[in-house]
Structure 1
Amino acid sequence: MARFDAGQGRTVYFEHHRGSGTPVVLIHGWAMSGRIWAGTAEALRADGHAVLIVDHRGCGQSDRDFEDMSVSAIAADVAGIVRQECARPAVLNGWSLGGAVAVEAARLLGDRAAGVVLTCGASPRFVRGDDFPYGGEPGSLDATAEAMAADRAGFFRGLAEGVCARPVSPPTVDWMWSAFIDSGVDALKSLRSLAGTDQREVLAGLAVPLLSIVGTADVILDPEIGRIAARLAPQGQVAEMEGCGHAPFIEDAPAYLAALRGFLANL
């Protein structure tokens, strides 16, 4: 384990599992932790890749008392870790909110990024707009805030139960719930930042290959958002995980890894 100095006396937790292959950075979703990537990380390490797993500020084993919990701040942490740890360009793989983080980190890294993977990634947008009819309603986060304030544990339990469309074991749901409930008190700030994020121009200017992995039965993030991301990126492609919800790397790990490995092999 290691810690990245994020300034103002705060640090971000990360793991760097070294390997000779292309480095892959695994960026978790909102209010989660890097431990959710355990199975993916094991498979990538077995393939010889270097693997970096990052806990967002305010989540997992990172410090909790950051004033800035925005998508851009988390992306700056990721970019800083890549610059510090990787001698060669890295692939940025972001799940859910982590997808928006991966796109912004790729913009910051320039030629230090080798590719972007969106795993049900919340990019280019998370909420609807006048010219973007996909995603959540603009005011939906107020209801989320009220639900968290009324029963934080119950809210996150319901979220954990809704992540997967395919059947998963009760211990898997418990595992996700335990990560959610352990998030810091300011986690909602990151979600509000995501609601104000629009990455259409960033995706259109992306100079590296992009793979958008979409769960066709995802009820948390409209699958069309992932398809749009692939169309916007000049070197974009989409992989559809049939019948999967918001976590295809858990729901159908073999199919997910096949798509990811195919992308990495063609870089």
Structure 2
Amino acid sequence: MPYIDISKSTLGSLRLHYQDFGQGRPVVLIHGWPLSGRSWEPQVAELVDAGFRVITYDRRGFGASSQPWSGYDYDTLAQDLHELMTELSLQDATLVGFSMGGGEVARYFGMYGSKFIRSAVFAAAVTPYLFKASGNSEGAVSDKDVEKKQASVLADRLGFLEDFTQKFFSDASGKLLVSESQRAYAKMIAAFASPKGTYDCISAFSKTDFRADLEKIDVPTLVIHGDSDQIVPIEVSGARTHKAIKNCELHVIKNGPHGCNLSHAKEFNSALIAFLKAH
């Protein structure tokens, strides 16, 4: 399996696993929490067939990447993405961030700008700022929410993942919109993630403020979000991200749950590919 070594790691050997398919303009797919690059399976083949070079990678702590004890803050995660971009000599690329991965897209722009970036996509993303804090009354996540989720991960991580993956793929009525086999597969992917990384990322995606990062995005951008997302509701995330970025399009998937890239793969892929071809 292909890996890159993280050169700036102070934790000893640290490697990121990635996959690289197709030819054409590069599209980098950044997965959500607590999954891996495997969660992009419904998108990869169609993007390659549409004429794009598709790169997926596993965030540190997840999938087949190294599982260090630390480094799950967004500055470090964006630095990992930058090292991948540099190692693969990616230019004129589109960054596509799902859920937690949307934060990496935003922070990448905040730290490195758009020199190598053609466009950006935020899919069911955690941007701009989920935490309910002073100056962010539109946030929906409290300290108690974060502590409760972290406590559940510590007490029974597999039990937490059972409930989480159910909600991940269900609409507002609680109806599961993918097969039970697909839900179980997502749980299996998440089960082999770093317990420490799984725990630490909860605070990262819940409490990181990406508003200043979004202001630096100066390339065509697409927001894709389901209007039945029970994990990251569109009202506190996708709708606000759309308003915060200039030259930004919004595609709302009707009755789409959080995992809309799987439950509504045909619509998701159509909107994504149309955007890529237009920009």
TM-score, structure 2 length as denominator?
A: 0.91
Whichever residue aligns with residue 172 of structure 1, its letter is: Q
CA separation in 2, counterparts of 1:134 and 1:193?
A: 15
| SS of the residue 2:16 aligns to | strand
Decide which of 123, 141, 149 is 1:144's aligned counterpart: 149
> 1:77-116 maps to which residues of 2 (within 5 A)?
77-107=80-110, 108-116=112-120
Equivalent-residue separation in structure 1 for 2:224 and 2:215 (angstroms): 18
1:66 Cα shift? 4.2
Match of 2:3 in 1: 3
Deviation track 1:82-117 (CA, whole Å, cap 9, x = no partner) reads 122144221111111010011112332521011111
Partner SS state of residue 38, structure 2: helix
- Greater mean alpha carbon deviation, residues 104-113 or residues 196-205: 104-113
Distance in 1, matches of 2:90 and 2:160, equals 41
For residues 145 and 200 of structure 1, what CA distance do their matches in structure 2 show?
Answer: 25
Report the AA paired with residue 61 of structure 1.
A
Report the equivalent of 1:213: 224
Give the aligned partner of residue 74 of structure 1. 77
**1:153 counterpart letter in structure 2:** L
- Out of 253, 259, 262, which is 2:265 matched to? 253
2:189 equivalent in structure 1 = 179
CA distance in 2, matches of 1:126, 1:62: 27
In structure 2, distance between residues paired with 1:30 and 1:168: 18
Deviation readout 1:18-56 (Å, 9 max, x if unpaired): 312x21101111121100101101110111100110100
Query: 1:113 and 1:208 mapped to 2: Cα distance?
Result: 8
Secondary structure of 1:53 counterpart: strand
Please tell me the residue identity of whatever aligns with 1:111.
K
**1:130 aligns to 2:141 (yes or no):** no
Q: Which ranges in structure 2 are unaligned for 5 or more consecutive residues?
A: none
Per the alignment, residue 239 of structure 1 pairs with 251
Q: Could you tell me which residue of structure 2 aligns to residue 222 of structure 1? A: 233
- Unaligned runs of 5+ residues in structure 1 are none
Structure 1: distance between partners of 2:143 and 2:249: 28
Alignment of 1:49 with 2:60, yes or no, is no
What per-residue deviation string (whole Å, max 9, x for no partner) do you get for residues 66-94 of structure 1?
Answer: 42111221111112111221442211111
1:26 to 2:29 alignment: yes
Distance, in Å, in 1 between the alignment partners of 2:86 and 2:107 is 15
Quick one: which of 201, 216, 225 aligns to 1:190? 201
Moved more, 37-46 or 124-133: 124-133
| Pairing 1:118–2:122 present | yes
Secondary structure of the 1:189 match is helix
Which string of whole-angstrom CA distances, capped at 9 and with x for unpartnered residues, describes residues 133-173 of structure 1? 23322331111111112211110010011111252111011
When the two structures are aligned, how many residues end up with a matched partner?
266
Q: State the TM-score, normalizing by the size of structure 1.
A: 0.95
